């Protein structure tokens, strides 16, 4: 797996690792005019790595015109306030997670999962620097990003969790609907708002058309990713 600060996935699309080689990922999508959209901003300490990733593709914070969050958790929205400050770019998130992003804390955890309440107390409720959200997203929105970025609402990990389908390159960003850490797997139960809902809504990812599956936790899949994701989903209850 590459140690590069930015990994090319498709024309105009790069993965930027913000923790480990691919433990936590952000994404940069470059439009024809050279402008950049960032998807997710990692933990609070991630902006420096994201700026290095941008530099590796010949871009700077001033080129970023939009930030899209897959959901309001510290490892995805933690660096958003700082990056919004550095870039001046507006932030977009699904309407159901906007309040949590603005308050700077994760949505409530799934009370039916053993240990979720304890974990929430131990991590301080998943707090991160509050960030203003300028655009509220909805399922089915097609954002004018690098030829079209479709919003796919996949709630459960958080109420407003979204996956994103870049239609021109047939690249899917799963967000935390699924991880690819030592194989395809579910997100960590204690971090979900509704784990059973996560399992239900992830099945939509098996119905989409894509040739690359990019994960916010783990490396991308380029070898029959849709079939591999469908096989994983079919094994689940």
Query: Cα–Cα distance between 117 and 81 in angstroms, integer?
Result: 27
For 50-63, the pLDDT digits (tens) are 999 999 999 999 99
Q: How confident is the model at residue 1 (pLDDT cuts 50, 70, 90)?
A: very low
Q: Determine the longest span between alpha carbons in the chain, in angstroms.
A: 49
For 97-117, the pLDDT digits (tens) are 999 999 999 999 998 887 766
Q: What is the pLDDT of the chain when averaged over all its residues?
A: 94
Q: What mean pLDDT do residues 19-23 have?
A: 88
**In the chain, % of residues over pLDDT 90:** 89
Domain spans in the chain, listed from the N-terminal domain onward: 7-234
Predicted confidence at residue 163, as pLDDT, reads: 98
Give the CATH number of domain 7-234; options: 3.30.465.10, 3.40.50.300, 3.30.499.10, 3.60.15.10.
3.60.15.10
Predicted confidence at residue 121, as pLDDT, reads: 61
Contacts of 201 (CB under 8 A, 6+ apart): 153, 154, 155, 156, 177
Q: Does 123 have pLDDT greater than 80?
A: no
Predicted confidence at residue 116, as pLDDT, reads: 63
């Amino acid at each position: 797996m590459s140690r590069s600060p930015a990994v090319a996935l498709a024309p105009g699309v790069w993965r930027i690792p913000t923790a480990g080689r691919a433990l936590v990922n952000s994404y940069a999508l470059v439009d024809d005019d050279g402008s950049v959209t960032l998807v997710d901003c990692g933990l609070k300490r991630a902006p420096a790595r994201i700026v290095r990733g941008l530099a590796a593709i010949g871009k700077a914070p001033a080129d970023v015109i939009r930030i899209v969050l897959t959901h309001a958790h510290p490892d995805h929205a933690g660096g958003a306030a700082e990056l919004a400050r550095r870039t001046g770019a507006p932030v977009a998130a699904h309407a159901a997670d906007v309040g949590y992003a603005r308050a700077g804390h994760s949505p409530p955890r799934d009370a039916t999962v053993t240990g979720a309440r304890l974990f929430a107390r131990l991590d301080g409720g998943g707090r991160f620097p509050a960030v203003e959200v300028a655009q509220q997203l909805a399922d089915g929105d097609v954002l004018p990003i690098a030829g079209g970025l479709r919003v796919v609402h996949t709630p459960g990990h958080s109420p407003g969790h979204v996956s994103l389908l870049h239609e021109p390159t047939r690249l899917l960003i799963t967000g935390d609907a699924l991880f690819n850490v030592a194989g395809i797997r579910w997100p960590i139960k204690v971090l979900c708002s509704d784990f059973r809902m996560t399992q239900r809504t992830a099945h939509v990812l098996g119905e989409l058309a894509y040739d690359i599956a990019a994960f916010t936790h783990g490396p991308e899949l380029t070898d029959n990713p849709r079939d591999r994701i469908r096989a994983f989903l079919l094994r689940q209850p």
